[in-house]
């Protein structure tokens, strides 16, 4: 009787796994072997014990994830590629929302959210230092060149972010969810801005304080153990706000509260950069991730975040999707993690190691196949009654320069605005041999976006562009044409 029950359980499990048949793979269970899909199997799922159908139907994610953590399930082949296969078919996963209600919908109260956040970030700075890069950036890197290392990608990301913030010496900058402080440190060193970081993690707080002292930036930087909901009573207002990888911890019911708190401490005319993991549609999340990696975490959709921006007079300057950059970042983290298993195994047991490997591999897969994205959204807080933006002349040109990957020198000059700013962007595009797209790009994007997002183009700006085009088309070199446009 027992053998019949075991056979029935095996048959049901294999039948369930056969639904993931878009690409071929094999299953090995005890002395039995099965093939799923058409073609040569790309990997093999090796099972020591059958996974009960009740568990697979309650939560496919939890059932498979916990089996892997226990060692009852293993992959012969590349774990990341196997997960990419399965997670690309997440619509076939089962999840009993009623049975998972307590796990999926936790309290958004301050005390509970602090407990959830610290359960992930306070497991030890020494651990994170083993597989993050030297900056201790725990967010998406920005790979400009194929050969970029993880460290270079994180430096690129900091550069990219600071350029979007359009910082000037003496400005005040708030980082909501500042991590270990790398972005604020670079902002203070480069621009001499006065930065404040807030975090709920005691480990991050201590490390950031240490780094401030080591860099000699006590005059410029402060870090606080603070919930974002306490910002309005903090007593300070800021020229710029940046928040990277924090919104995912806020919870769907608190998005408006979060934006309201940011609005209350952002000065009129200020810039707010919000960088967050997103999904195409609203979803309560993944049960395994919520149970073991990010308790209480919720991935917003871009549309639900943007739907609230107008309520706080935020005007969108730029939205950039960095999805594939995060895929590559996670694969770099995974590589570092595997290379440091000797040290990590002294800190944690095999179950934790398998859990963390699964976490990094699964997240890399979800960014690869588009289940998750990373959006970097830049807003300007407008002053009611003014035709333009307070103290933001040239911001539009700066963003347009960034949109075509112009270097910092081009962005800095273009951000001064006027005819030279427009002419320089034109020169840069032509230098990149994109002149066949130039007129359409400038006329349909720059002028229209400027009129809607920053300030309407002046007569001088239009004439500057036209003058540049005339000189360039007459045979002058890019540099000469740009100089003539500047001095038109």
For 12, the domain range is: 2-92
Residues 429 and 353 reside in one and the same domain? no
User: CA 435 to CA 429: how far, in whole Å?
Assistant: 7
Total length of the chain: 488
The strand pair at 172-176 and 238-244 is best described as parallel
pLDDT at 117: 95
Decide which of 353, 381, 409 is a domain's last residue: 381
**Overall domain count for the chain:** 3
Pick the last residue of a domain from 381, 410, 441. 381
Count Cβ atoms below 10 Å from residue 228 Cβ, excluding itself. 24
Query: What tokens were used for 482?
Result: 């740009």
Predicted confidence at residue 437, as pLDDT, reads 53
Determine, yes or no, domain membership for 400. yes
- Within-domain flag for 310: yes
For residues 333 and 469, state if they share a domain. Answer: no
Q: Rounded distance, CA 175 to CA 198, Å?
A: 6
Residue 105 resides in a domain: no
Measured from the Cβ of residue 86, the count of other Cβ atoms closer than 10 Å reads 22
Between the CA atoms of 472, 476, 477 and 480, what dihedral angle is there, to the nearest 10 degrees? -90
Indicate if 163 and 268 belong to the same structural domain.
yes
Catalytic residues: 363
Q: Given this model, what pLDDT does residue 7 score?
A: 85
pLDDT of residue 471: 66
The reply to whether 437 falls in a domain is yes
Q: Are residues 178 and 257 in the same domain?
A: yes
Domain membership flag for residue 124: yes
Q: How far is residue 138's CA from residue 294's CA, in Å, rounded to a whole number?
A: 14
List helix spans (H) across 91-201: 101-104, 110-121, 125-131, 150-165, 182-191
The pLDDT assigned to 484 comes to 59
Task: Give a yes or no: residue 99 inside a domain.
Answer: no
Shared domain for 313 and 455, answered yes or no, is: no
* Whole-number pLDDT of residue 454: 44
Give the mean pLDDT per block of 10 residues along the chain (488 residues): 76 95 95 94 96 96 98 97 95 94 92 95 97 97 94 96 92 98 97 97 98 98 98 96 97 96 94 96 95 97 95 90 96 98 98 98 97 94 45 41 45 48 55 52 50 50 63 61 52
Q: Is the Cβ–Cβ distance between 351 and 69 less than 8 Å?
A: yes
């Amino acid at each position: 009787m027992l053998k019949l029950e075991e056979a029935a359980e095996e048959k049901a499990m294999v039948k369930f796994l056969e639904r993931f048949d878009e690409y071929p793979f094999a299953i090995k269970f005890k002395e039995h072997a099965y093939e799923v899909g058409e073609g040569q199997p790309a990997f093999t799922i090796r099972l020591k014990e059958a996974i009960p159908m009740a568990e697979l139907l309650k939560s496919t994610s939890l059932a498979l994830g916990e089996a892997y953590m226990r060692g009852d399930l293993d992959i012969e082949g590349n774990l990341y590629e196997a997960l990419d296969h399965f997670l690309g078919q997440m619509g076939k996963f089962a999840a009993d929302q009623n049975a998972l209600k307590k796990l999926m919908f936790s309290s958004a109260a301050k005390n509970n959210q602090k407990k959830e956040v610290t359960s992930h970030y306070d497991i030890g700075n020494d651990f994170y230092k083993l597989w993050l890069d030297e900056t201790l950036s725990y967010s998406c890197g920005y790979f400009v060149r194929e050969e970029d290392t993880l460290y270079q990608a994180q430096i690129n990301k900091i550069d990219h972010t600071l350029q979007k913030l359009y910082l000037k010496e003496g400005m005040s900058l708030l980082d909501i969810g500042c991590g270990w402080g790398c972005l604020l440190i670079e902002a203070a060193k480069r621009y001499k801005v006065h930065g404040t970081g807030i975090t709920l993690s005691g480990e991050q707080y201590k490390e950031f304080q240490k780094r401030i002292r080591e860099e000699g930036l006590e005059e410029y930087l402060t870090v606080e153990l603070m919930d974002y909901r306490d910002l309005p009573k903090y007593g300070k207002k800021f020229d710029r706000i940046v928040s990277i990888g924090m919104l995912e911890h806020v919870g769907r019911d608190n998005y408006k509260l979060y934006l309201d708190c940011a609005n209350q401490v952002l000065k009129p005319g200020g810039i707010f950069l919000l960088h967050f993991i997103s999904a195409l549609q609203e979803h309560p999340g993944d049960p395994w991730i919520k149970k073991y990696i990010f308790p209480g975490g919720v991935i917003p959709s871009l549309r639900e975040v943007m739907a609230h921006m107008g309520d706080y007079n935020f005007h969108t300057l730029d939205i950039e999707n960095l999805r594939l950059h995060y895929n590559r970042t996670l694969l770099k983290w995974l590589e570092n993690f595997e290379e440091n298993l000797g040290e990590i195994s002294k800190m944690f047991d095999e179950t934790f190691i398998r859990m963390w490997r699964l976490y990094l591999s699964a997240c890399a897969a979800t960014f690869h196949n588009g289940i998750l994205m990373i959006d970097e959204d830049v807003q300007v807080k407008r002053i009611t009654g003014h035709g333009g933006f307070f103290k933001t002349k040239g911001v539009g040109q700066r963003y347009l320069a960034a949109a075509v990957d112009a270097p910092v020198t081009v962005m800095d000059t273009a951000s001064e605005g006027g005819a030279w700013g427009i002419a320089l962007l034109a020169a840069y595009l032509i230098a990149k041999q994109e002149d066949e797209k130039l007129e359409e790009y400038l006329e349909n994007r720059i002028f229209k976006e400027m009129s809607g997002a920053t300030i309407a183009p002046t007569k001088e700006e239009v004439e500057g562009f036209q003058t540049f085009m005339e000189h360039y088309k007459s045979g002058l070199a890019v540099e000469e044409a740009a100089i003539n446009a500047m001095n038109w």
